Amino acid sequence: MAALQHLTGLCGMSAGTLSELLDKTEGFKKELTAPAPSFSPSLQGRRIALVFFENSTRTRFSFELAARNLGASTLGFSASTSSVTKGETLSDTIKNLEAMQVDAFVLRHSASGSAEFISAITQKPVINAGDGSNEHPTQALLDMFTLREHFGKLQGIKVAIIGDVLHSRVARSNIHGLLTMGAEVGLCSPVTLLPPDSEKLGVSLFTDLDRALGWADAALVLRLQLERATGGYLPSLQEYSVHYGLTDERLERTARHLLVLHPGPINREIEISNRVADRIQPPGYSKSMLLEQVTNGVAVRMAVLQTLLADTP
């Protein structure tokens, strides 16, 4: 793999690099789910700063676990208790942490482009854990890994990305990654929640959810980003849920064998019904991969940290 210095996004990443990260993830998943997991501490002594300016449960915990599994230590940072509340800038914050000999930064920030910006001012690897509505590369890698594990390949599979595409960094990273790996991508959302440049992305566009589900092998359901969508996008949540909510009845009617993914956190009974979100079986029916994705998230983050840090001084 050409040396990967930072992971700010999947846009422009080659199929070879993506495949190598997914292959590495497979190895870590095996170790992680073994009856008595034991990891080689390849990042012993490394210090990883988890710099989170936005809330997180899955991403933050899984980066922390991934780092610890590899023997690294983590420094937690949350903007609300830091000097950011006194007006310190993002770049000063990063430079100060770097001066304390931190070895890598995992950054989540509400500003699109913030990870790219930080990667230009530090010598240390920067991993984007979600920047505004731009990219969330490790989430897309874990979604792609989950799909690859289930279907045995990404080439040629059809993935419908459903919901608030406009505000979703998860959607953007998945579109880049899945298309690069030869999957077909369909976007299904109300026109107000579709990015203006969508027809140029090389994806199929749907406004009718039944048609999208009939087309797809897998549905990646997005959370309605209520904190970013400040009014005017939807007549009402109830109407959204009627037209774009993934319900048992809808799957039964249109897509009984669909694989269902969601990055979490879920708005239960808005974009996904309880029964669909919680369904593991019965066989032959749509299958929810939500918790499998979370497990895979730890393995993906181990692969990313290892790749970026193991060979750097």
Beta carbon nearer to ligand NCD, 74 or 225: 225
CB of 31 to ligand NCD, least distance (A): 23
Beta carbon nearer to ligand NCD, 130 or 177: 130
Beta carbon nearer to ligand NCD, 44 or 55: 55
Other CB atoms within a 10 A radius of the CB of residue 250 amount to 18
Angle at the Cα of 187 from the Cα atoms of 186 and 192, rounded to 5 degrees: 160
Distances (CA, A) of 94 to 112, 122, 181, 239: 17, 8, 34, 43
CB of 264 to ligand NCD, least distance (A): 5
Contact indicator for 177, 153 with CB cutoff of 8 Å: no
Beta carbon nearer to ligand NCD, 46 or 167: 167
CB of 115 to ligand NCD, least distance (A): 13
Distances (CA, A) of 260 to 3, 126, 135, 240: 34, 31, 21, 19
Other CB atoms within a 10 A radius of the CB of residue 277 amount to 19
Beta carbon nearer to ligand NCD, 226 or 242: 226
Beta carbon nearer to ligand NCD, 174 or 273: 174
CB of 212 to ligand NCD, least distance (A): 19
Beta carbon nearer to ligand NCD, 245 or 263: 263
Q: Packing angle between helix 137-151 and helix 290-309, nearest 10 degrees?
A: 120
CB of 272 to ligand NCD, least distance (A): 12
By beta-carbon distance, which residue lies closest to ligand NCD? 223
DSSP 8-class letter at 259: E
80: Cβ contacts below 8 Å, ≥ 6 apart: none
Contact indicator for 297, 62 with CB cutoff of 8 Å: yes
Examine residue 125 and say whether the peptide bond preceding it is cis (omega within 30 degrees of 0). Answer: no
CB of 139 to ligand NCD, least distance (A): 5
CB of 162 to ligand NCD, least distance (A): 13
| Binding residues for ligand NCD (CB under 6 A) | 58-59, 130, 136, 139, 169-170, 223, 225, 263-264
Handedness of CA 262, 268, 270, 275 (dihedral sign): positive
Q: Would you put residue 147 in left (φ > 0), alpha (ψ -120 to 50) or beta? A: alpha
Other CB atoms within a 10 A radius of the CB of residue 9 amount to 22
